[in-house]
Amino acid sequence: MSLREAIASSKILVTCGAGGIGKTTAAAALGVALSQSSQRRVLVLTIDPARRLADALGLDGIGNEVTSVKEVTGPGKLDVAMLDTRASWDSLIHRHAPDEETAQRILSNSLYQNITGRFIQSHDYIAMERLYELVQLNQYDLIVLDTPPSRNALDFLDAPNRMADFFSSRLLRWLTAPARGGMRGLAAKPFTQITDRILGAQFLSDITEFFVLLESMYAGFIERAREVEALLVDPTTGFLVISTLDEAPLHEAAFFVNELEKRNLRVYGWLLNRVLPASLSSPSLLWAINELERASLDDVATDLNVPLTQLSTVTKSLVANARAWSNVALRERQLISTLRSSVPMVAVPSLDGEISDLEGLFALGQRILDEPFVLEFGDDQRSESA
């Protein structure tokens, strides 16, 4: 089975893994390949895409608002958007606030901008919130979500529940106690007196006002957290774990696969990105290298009318480079053979050069979609690149 077959009936594909492994480019490439080779309407929601990715898609830029990639000429449709934390928080406040006055008071609070950037992993929560919002539009056959890279790869999965937990926490009750008065406000008085002296009365007032207003949206946040949780466990939602063969991404990917399965989430597979082609470690290439190293260059130098010493130097350099690349490729194959995974694995070879246009994204996407998966279960089996 290939990834294309695995996601044939899916509505959400979540790509996840460490930062710096080509995850955003892979997500965009999947969107391009699927929209150009099928009739599916695809949206790719990326996390801070590089400038060259926008250029490759033929766009001036990628922002929070959905943008159509008109250069895609296939039977499908491709839209892209970038997760903008502040803009998404603004939209969230408008959606959950009990009235427009409350929404405006929150948005104008002096602490709002700082808190939305740092408050309880807001980037991770907003990723899930934005995903749910886009699903509800019912405009796409498939949404590809490029998740935020983080030290804890599961932050974005836990964020909705952490938000719900915060609204019922003792901390929130203490933060809002000064505005409530009564026994609760009286109990918090020592805390407020100390905070007044250290931070100033206005700072405490801003904090209290912000969280009192935020608490008014309790019901909306709790309901949405439960809806997002249900969305993630839906049979039409699946995860693709991406890593390179470097130690840190490999370790994080293995941990992620294990944790996703513990949560009964559907994992399509584990993608090993930027792997050298298997042909570089093939016996036929090694034979050719050995033959070139042993070959007599006298006749060749005469035919080419070049000094034998120069031709020997070039040949030795060529043999050394070819052997070095072959050794690296062989070590990669040996490393892949030691990996253990309860989900299908696939190794996608690196493509030559930088991806700078739709053609390059399409080629990468096709490789990811059509490279056969290899199932790996028993201790006596070994994963091999297709």
pLDDT digits (tens, 9 = 90+) for 113-150: 666 655 545 677 777 888 888 898 899 999 999 887 76
198/125 same-domain check:
yes
pLDDT at residue 61 above 80?
yes
| Tokens 């529940």 -> residue | 161
Q: What pLDDT does 151 receive?
A: 56
pLDDT at residue 179 above 90?
no
Tell me how many helices (H) and strands (E) the chain has: 18, 8
- pLDDT bucket at 40, cuts 50 / 70 / 90: very high
pLDDT at residue 332 above 60?
yes
- Say which range, 26-35, 41-50, 72-81, has the weakest mean pLDDT: 41-50
Tokens of 147: 């998740």
Q: Report the CATH number at residue 90.
A: 3.40.50.300
317/353 same-domain check:
no
pLDDT digits (tens, 9 = 90+) for 85-100: 778 888 888 888 888 9
313-319-322-323 Cα dihedral, nearest 10 degrees: -130
Query: 384 lies in a domain?
Result: no
Q: What pLDDT does 67 receive?
A: 92
* Strand, coil or helix: 237: strand
DSSP class of residue 171 equals H
324/233 same-domain check:
no
User: Could you tell me where the beta strands, DSSP code E, fall in the chain?
Assistant: 12-16, 41-46, 67-68, 77-82, 142-146, 237-243, 267-275, 345-349
Query: 133 lies in a domain?
Result: yes
Query: 306 lies in a domain?
Result: yes
For residues 87 and 40, the model is more confident at: 40
* Strand, coil or helix: 100: helix
**Which of residues 336, 356, 379 is at a domain's end?**
336
pLDDT digits (tens, 9 = 90+) for 236-253: 999 999 999 998 899 889
331/345 same-domain check:
no
Decide: 203 and 246 in contact? Cβ < 8 Å.
no
Q: What pLDDT does 60 receive?
A: 85
Give the number of other Cβ atoms within 10 Å of residue 278's Cβ.
Answer: 17
Average pLDDT over residues 337-361: 83
* Single-letter amino acid, residue 342: S
- pLDDT bucket at 385, cuts 50 / 70 / 90: very low
Non-local (6+) Cβ contacts of 76 within 8 A are 34, 35, 36, 37, 38, 39, 40, 41, 42
For residues 368 and 173, the model is more confident at: 368
- pLDDT bucket at 180, cuts 50 / 70 / 90: low
Query: 353 lies in a domain?
Result: yes
CA distance 269 to 240: 5
Count of structural domains, the chain = 2
191/328 same-domain check:
no
Mean confidence (pLDDT) of the chain: 80
Domain residue limits at 295: 279-336
- pLDDT bucket at 168, cuts 50 / 70 / 90: low
268/228 same-domain check:
yes
- pLDDT bucket at 199, cuts 50 / 70 / 90: very low
184/89 same-domain check:
yes
Query: 378 lies in a domain?
Result: no
Which residue stretches of 246-307 are H helix? Answer: 247-262, 283-294, 298-304
- How many angstroms separate the Cα of 58 from the Cα of each of 65, 70, 108, 140? 16, 8, 37, 21
Q: What pLDDT does 375 receive?
A: 54
195/326 same-domain check:
no
Non-local (6+) Cβ contacts of 79 within 8 A are 41, 42, 43, 44, 66, 67, 68, 69, 140
- How many angstroms separate the Cα of 365 from the Cα of each of 25, 75, 331, 349? 9, 16, 26, 12
Decide: 124 and 155 in contact? Cβ < 8 Å.
yes
CA distance 239 to 230: 15
258/283 same-domain check:
no
317/168 same-domain check:
no
pLDDT at residue 111 above 80?
no
For residues 132 and 110, the model is more confident at: 132
Query: 175 lies in a domain?
Result: yes
| Residues 313-348: b if buried by 16+ CB within 10 A, e if exposed | eeeeeebeebeebbeebbebbeebeebebebbbbbb
Query: Terminus-to-terminus CA distance in the chain, angstroms?
Result: 12
Decide: 346 and 3 in contact? Cβ < 8 Å.
yes
Query: 321 lies in a domain?
Result: yes
pLDDT at residue 153 above 80?
no
CA distance 368 to 188: 57
pLDDT at residue 380 above 70?
no
pLDDT at residue 193 above 70?
no
Q: What pLDDT does 178 receive?
A: 56
Strand order in the sheet with 237-243: 67-68, 77-82, 41-46, 142-146, 12-16, 237-243, 267-275, 345-349
Q: What pLDDT does 245 receive?
A: 92
pLDDT at residue 377 above 50?
no
Query: 203 lies in a domain?
Result: yes
302/262 same-domain check:
no
Tokens of 125: 């929560």
Tokens of 249: 């991404």
185/315 same-domain check:
no
Non-local (6+) Cβ contacts of 56 within 8 A are 28, 355, 356, 357, 358, 360, 361
What percent of the chain is predicted at pLDDT more than 90? 23
